Amino acid sequence: MFKTRLISGIFLVAAALLTIMSGGIVLLCTLAAISLIGMQELYRAMGVREEKFNLLEITGYVSILIYYLGMRFDYDRFGMMTVLLSLILMMCVYVFCYPAYKAEQVMAAFFGVVYVGVMLSHIYLTRNLEGGAFIVWLIFLCSWGCDTCAYCVGMLIGKHKMAPVLSPKKSVEGAVGGVAGAALLGLIYAAATHGKILEYALICAVGALISMVGDLAASAIKRNRNIKDYGKLIPGHGGILDRFDSVIFTAPVIYFLARFLI
Residue 65 pLDDT? 97
Model confidence over 226-237: pLDDT tens digits?
888 887 776 666
Enter the pTM of the model: 0.92
Model confidence over 28-73: pLDDT tens digits?
999 999 999 999 999 999 999 877 889 999 999 999 999 999 999 9
Residue 53 pLDDT? 87
Mean pLDDT confidence for 181-191 = 94
Instruction: Give CA separation, 35 vs 59, 202, 224, in Å.
Output: 14, 28, 22
Model confidence over 133-165: pLDDT tens digits?
999 999 999 998 888 888 888 888 878 788 888
- Residue 6's pLDDT band, with cuts at 50, 70 and 90, is low
Instruction: Give CA separation, 98 vs 86, 94, 109, in Å.
Output: 18, 6, 16
Distance separating alpha carbons of residues 225 and 245, to the nearest angstrom: 16
Domains of the chain, by residue range, sit at: 22-128, 131-262
- Whole-number mean pLDDT of the chain? 89
